[in-house]
Amino acid sequence: MNAVAAVLIGLCIAVWSTESAAQGIEPGTTWVNDRGSELHIDSIDKDGHLAGTYINRAAGFQCQGTPYPVIGWVEGDEIGFSVRWKSADQDCQSITSWTGYYEAGRIVTDWDLVYLDSVENGPLMYRGSDHFVPQ
């Protein structure tokens, strides 16, 4: 084998091992978004029910630094999950739902947050996007 062939084979093995190590939407995985928040997936059952925890670390939001239960669904590369921002210590009177998909090693989502607005004295919606990568 000449040197060029050896380098090519080495490159192929490197690409293959990188791809085979890519983390998909699986139980036991943790994902971090652009805001520093963490989604941990504990389980996905045979029907696609997802259970896990979410730690919010996004600037400008409440209910920071505590793991909140996550429930959701996984359908192939599609995912939807929700958090009710209420714990024994803090009640932010809000709920967020994310929907999105897994592509090229990351989870791309849009979310809706419904919260109780003190000025309006009623519920309002806030919308945005989060991109998650493996921790």
Q: Give which of 110, 115, 107 is closest to 84, Cα–Cα.
A: 115
CB of 17 to ligand BTN, least distance (A): 31
Whose Cβ is closer to ligand BTN: residue 3's or residue 59's? 59
CB of 99 to ligand BTN, least distance (A): 12
Interface residues with ligand BTN (CB under 6 A) are 33, 35, 37, 56, 58, 61-63, 85, 92, 94, 96, 111, 113, 115, 128, 130
Residue number with the smallest Cβ distance to ligand BTN: 37
Whose Cβ is closer to ligand BTN: residue 51's or residue 114's? 114
CB of 64 to ligand BTN, least distance (A): 8
